[in-house]
Amino acid sequence: MQPVGHHLAELNVGRLLVPTDDPRVADFMDNLDRINGLGKRMPGFVWMMEGSGEPGTGNTEAKLEGDPQYVSNLTVWEDAPSLEDFVFNTIHKQFYERRAEWFEVLGKMNFVMWWVPAGHKPTLDEALAKLEYLEKNGDSDAAFGWKYLGEQSASATNGCCAPLAAE
């Protein structure tokens, strides 16, 4: 249950199969600005970690483990239904369903959500710590995945937890 005065933060991490300038990930890279822009215009959107601002790069400059093929997306939403609406009820879903074309199967957690006080903008380090916490401890009030939000969640019927590539 969402604590009063809190928003939902989420981190999604993936490792591209090839470098960002490889034609095999061009469709993903070419649509980053479009999808991110849509997310920013959605009801309930609060904040997004930004990259360099260079067109078509999203936040691909935030290298994880020094690896240029890791990409991350860190956002804050007013609530879970707002995030779900964006993920599963917009064109984002089409790209989400194609994630196996562009991303490796990581074999570990790559998506986490947690509650933050309204107005807080989490850092990438904070988000990665939440991801690590989730991987070690499982779902809890401190860090969780879609299933923790309950069966009424739209994600429960949208294949959110299929063991493919990046969530």
pLDDT digits 0-9 by tens, 50-90: 864 555 555 556 667 778 888 889 999 999 999 999 999 99
Residue-level pLDDT at 118? 98
Please state, in angstroms and as integers, the Cα–Cα distance from residue 31 to each residue in 35, 53, 56, 96, 122, following that order: 6, 14, 7, 12, 25
DSSP symbols for 139-160: S-SSSB-GGGG-TTSGGGGTTT
CA distance 36 to 153: 23
CA distance 91 to 109: 24
Residue-level pLDDT at 150? 79
Residue 43 pLDDT greater than 90, yes or no: yes
Out of 3.30.70.100, 3.20.20.80, 3.40.630.30, 3.40.50.300, the CATH code matching 6-157 is 3.30.70.100
Phi/psi at 24 (nearest 5 deg)? Answer: -70, -20
Whole-model pTM: value is 0.85
Please state, in angstroms and as integers, the Cα–Cα distance from residue 92 to each residue in 33, 45, 118, following that order: 12, 14, 25
Please state, in angstroms and as integers, the Cα–Cα distance from residue 66 to each residue in 124, 125, 132, following that order: 14, 14, 17
| Token pair recorded at residue 34 | 């479009």
CA distance 26 to 31: 8
Every domain of the chain and the residues it spans: 6-157
pLDDT digits 0-9 by tens, 101-135: 999 988 777 899 999 999 999 999 999 999 999 99
Q: How many residues would you count in the chain?
A: 167
Tokens 């005065």 belong to 5
CA distance 99 to 39: 17
